Chain A
């Protein structure tokens, strides 16, 4: 393909300016010079502008006192904390939305995507309508809709909607019970970890046993029993150390429990349902990419319907589904920056919003913010490349 770079032939007579190699080097030199010149003039201008506007430079401001409050903090934070701490708080809030949103979007997306292929007319139509409507409305519109039209219209705390008397939904968000860890709670946590470890080991052992003998073991039931049973035994043995503080209505608001702020609910629900529409399409095309012959072959080998799905269809579909799925996860994470539209304190709202307004250090702050998202993208892309190499079809 080297010869694509320039005209071929006639080299004997024409001058060296028509030589592809000379041209290529010349063009690259010009490109380099342009980029270097742009970079140089930007730096010069920035230095002059910053000096003229008396804006400080450097990352020293990260140690200064931020002086503003944040209404959702996963780590201790107060108005006397530093900008650096505010950055971490914002980053954690972004990650929280991303993780919860990805979890919900995956579940909804897979359900709707399978629903799109259902034989059931009602389910199929509803799934299609869901995908088309949600996909064709701007995410910011949906976030504002959830925030302004749905959550603000919820009743006040006194008339809040109660689920089983434990969870309360009102216009101040959702209040859930707070787990309280008493003495011996550590043992229960250890028991949960042990149960998960044992379940994984049992699955491996069952798989290798099936390879040898061909006999299936009831992996699902044994593992369920392990994961529920072991912590339960630990709970009984230690005398139920984990209890829940149920929120109580006192005066005009709730006391106790964990309050999930309405901004978080609106942002997460809107992003999860929006992204789920795209995931549904990925899932549908992934399943459709597995040819029907695979199903027929599996049936003729004597596999039951569920086994066909689990052992033949899903593994092949996942190879097609996972790459676009991760890019949807990344999109959801990037879209979580829309939080600034409703005032959820994510990285952009806290750092590129409030901190930028207070310090005026646009270059440093925006560079850090962009850097965080870039880093997330690069990490995801790297993991994806490794995964793709592992699952790629080995062509014989």
Chain B
């Protein structure tokens, strides 16, 4: 509606209707003009990219799903032209890929370890859930001990070994086993503990310190160590499974998780040592860290396999997996130390000064003020080093420990499944498994990073 005056003036008294924008500026066509075909180079790149996608994606989908064989008993099912992935091969080898040669009747133990790990890990990873301290204690301390007993069968008879080497009263009493518990050893252990407590407490008291607190600390150390020996020693009735029979994803996870769990305390100590004011401690930490960071993991594994046994007393012949674990733990401790150091450096100086002004001792300051903040800050870094450790565990196949990739490689040689597509099927499956693990963890690390950035700004 509009008004027209006598002199011909025209006044519009309502808003003009909004016209649709030019079709060249919106919609799919415009977006493509803007983003894909804005210039000669851009057009060429787009065409090249689309060609690449067309070249890779359809054959991939055909191989993985459309042409794939889903059921079969042996290689016969997967022979023939134009056959895609041979999934029955993975089905047949699945147990081997997950458990290695772990006895089939005992695989429930591995399942329990997997399930317990997941049950403890998930609440630890969800940042908002409560009971983080007790959860972390369960995952980093209790879980490895229990997992060790479940996987190996426990009953390692450490008490006899210790009694023979360090026993005080071995000569006095014979071997007295009561209900599977080596009584002589425990009497001996308590005696040793009391003696050491008295010695340390007395020495500290003599020097003018608090002898009682020193003795108390010693008591706790002995108690924890005794508990560990007891759990590992008691015969829970599980069959012994040697580590040579372990394999597949089990070994991959054992190495990666042990590496991280063992490297965390070691890495924290090294990081503190590197930032310490004591020149000798600092020098030792720097040399240790830079040495392990400077050499490739494969030489570390060679070191652990061939060189470490030479350094140990004659007669001790540690298990091959244990040796590899020691190498991996030392190696990842050096990387972990650098990650933790980054966190320590990010804590403002005011936090240290505030803690000191409150009259906290150095260890209280670290335990109560600095480390909780620093470790929260470096969660993404810890997850990232877990990812690289997870990828690096594949190297153990070079020192004849058959992890996931090693089992896969071994399964290629099975004549029952010798088909042209076996190799590709195996690589596709392993690739998907590794990718899901690593990609999932890297997403998680990114998520934590974003969360920490918004809520923990100093």
A interface with B by C-beta (< 8 Å): 1-9, 14-18, 24, 27-28, 31-32, 35, 42, 45-46, 48-50, 52, 118-123, 126, 132-133, 135-141, 144-145, 148-149, 334-335, 337-338, 340-341, 348, 352, 356, 362-363, 366, 369-370, 373-374, 377-378
The yes or no answer to B434 lying at the interface (CB within 8 A) is yes
Q: Given A1-B277, A7-B362, A15-B209, answer yes or no on A141-B50 (Cβ-Cβ < 8 Å).
A: no
Knowing A122-B49, A136-B438, the reply to whether A366 touches B310 (Cβ < 8 A) is no
For B294, B303, B313, B314, the residue with the greatest tally of chain A CB atoms inside 10 Å of its CB is B294
Pick the residue among B38, B276, B302, B434 that contacts A366 (CB under 8 A): B302
Task: Encode contact with A along B213-242: 1 for CB under 8 Å, 0 otherwise.
Answer: 000000000000000000000000000000
The stretch from B153-161, B174-182, B278-286 touching chain A is B278-286
Interface string of B311-332 (1 = CB under 8 A from A): 1111000000000000000000
Q: How far is the CA of A131 from the CA of B52 in the complex (A)?
A: 16
Contact A145 B314 (CB under 8 A): no
Given contacts A49-B309, A341-B395, A363-B307, 19 further A-B contacts (CB under 8 A): A4-B277, A5-B278, A7-B361, A16-B207, A16-B208, A28-B278, A45-B313, A49-B310, A49-B314, A121-B35, A122-B53, A126-B49, A135-B438, A139-B394, A144-B427, A338-B395, A340-B298, A352-B302, A369-B299
B contact residues around A144 at 8 Å (CB): 405, 409, 427
Please state if B427 and A145 are interface contacts (CB–CB under 8 Å). yes
Residues of A within 8 A of B196 (CB): none
Measured CA separation A137–B38 after assembly (Å): 35
Complex Cα gap A28–B281 (Å): 6
Contact A141 B430 (CB under 8 A): yes
Docked complex Cα distance between A377 and B204 (Å): 44
Shortest CB distance A110–B (Å): 15
A123 touches B46 (CB 8 A): yes
Given contacts A45-B312, A119-B38, A120-B35, contact A28 B279 (CB under 8 A): yes
Within 8 Å CB of A48, what residues of B? 313-314
Q: Which of B276, B278, B434 contacts A138 (CB 8 A)?
A: B434
Instruction: Give chain B residues whose Cβ lies under 8 Å from the Cβ of A32.
Output: 280
Return chain B residues, CB-CB under 8 Å to A122: 36, 45-46, 49-50, 53
Question: What is the chain B residue whose CB lies nearest that of A9?
Answer: B359
In order of increasing CB-CB distance, the 8 nearest A-B pairs are A15-B208, A377-B294, A136-B438, A122-B49, A334-B296, A138-B391, A362-B306, A28-B280
A17 touches B204 (CB 8 A): yes
Q: Cα distance A120–B46 when bound, in Å?
A: 7
Contacts of A17 in B (CB 8 A): 204, 207-209
When the two chains form their complex, are residues B311 and A141 in contact, meaning their CB atoms are under 8 A apart? no
- B residues lining the A interface (CB < 8 Å): 35-36, 38, 42, 45-46, 49-50, 52-53, 204, 207-209, 276-281, 284, 290-291, 293-296, 298-299, 302-303, 306-307, 309-314, 352, 356, 359, 361-362, 387, 390-395, 397-398, 405, 409, 412, 423-424, 427, 430-431, 434-435, 438-439, 442
- Assess A374 versus B208: contact at CB under 8 Å? Given A123-B49, A126-B52: no
Shortest A248–chain B CB gap in Å is: 30
Q: Which residue of B lies closest to A17 (CB)?
A: B209
Q: Is the CB of A138 within 8 A of B392?
A: yes
Q: Give the contacting residue for A373; candidates B299, B393, B442; CB below 8 A.
A: B299
Contact of B394 among A6, A46, A141, A366 (CB under 8 A): A141
A363 to B207, CA, bound (A): 43
Q: How close is A289's CB to chain B, nearest CB, in angstroms?
A: 16
User: What are some 14 contacts across the A-B interface (CB < 8 A)?
Assistant: A5-B362, A7-B359, A49-B310, A120-B35, A122-B45, A135-B438, A137-B434, A141-B405, A141-B434, A144-B409, A144-B427, A352-B299, A370-B299, A377-B294
Interchain Cβ contacts within 8 Å, total number: 175
Residue pair B36, A120 in contact (C-beta under 8 Å)? yes
CA distance A374 to B412 in the complex (A): 36
Residues of A close to B207: CB separation below 8 A: 15-17
A140 with B405: CB separation less than 8 A:
yes
- Closest Cβ neighbor of A339 among chain B residues: B298
CA distance A138 to B256 in the complex (A): 13
**A46 touches which of B293, B311, B352 (Cβ 8 Å):** B311
- Report whether B356 and A8 are in contact in the complex, using a CB–CB cutoff of 8 Å: yes
CB pair A363 B310 closer than 8 Å? yes
Q: B277: which A residues are within 8 A, CB to CB?
A: 1-2, 4-5, 24
Q: Distance (Å) between the CB of B155 and the closest chain A CB?
A: 28
- Cα A378 to Cα B276 in complex, Å, equals 23
Please indicate the chain A residues that have their CB under 8 angstroms from the CB of B280 in the complex.
28, 31-32
Q: How many whole Å from B290's CB to the nearest CB in chain A?
A: 8
**Chain B positions within 8 Å of A1 at CB level:** 277
**B45 partner, pick from A123, A132, A138, beta carbons under 8 A:** A123
Which residues of chain B have C-beta atoms less than 8 A from A8's C-beta? 356, 359
CB neighbours of A14 from chain B (8 A): 208
A265 → chain B closest CB, angstroms: 17
Q: A45-B312, A122-B45, A363-B307 are in contact. Are A140 and B278 (CB under 8 A)?
A: no
Q: Which residue of B lies closest to A39 (CB)?
A: B311
Q: A335–B392 Cα gap in the complex (Å)?
A: 10
Identify A374's interface contact among B45, B284, B291, B434, CB under 8 A: B291
Residues from chain B with a CB closer than 8 A to the CB of A7 are 359, 361-362
Contacts of B284 in A (CB 8 A): 31, 35
Most chain A Cβ neighbours within 10 Å, of B45, B208, B311: B311
Q: Is the CB of B423 within 8 A of A148?
A: yes
A369, closest chain B residue (CB): B299
Known: A2-B277, A144-B409. A120 touches B356 (CB 8 A): no
- Residue of B whose beta carbon sits closest to that of A8: B356
On chain A, the residues within 8 Å of B309 by CB distance are 49
Asked if A3 and B356 sit within 8 Å, CB to CB, the answer is: yes
Residues in B with CB closer than 8 Å to A145 are 427, 431
Find out whether the CB atom of A52 lies under 8 angstroms from the CB atom of B209: no
Q: Which residues of B contact A16 (CB under 8 A)?
A: 207-208
Q: In whole angstroms, how far apart are the Cα atoms of A100 and B347 in the complex?
A: 42
A64 vs chain B, min Cβ distance (A) = 19
Closest to B42 in A: A120
Nearest CB of A to B405, in Å: 6
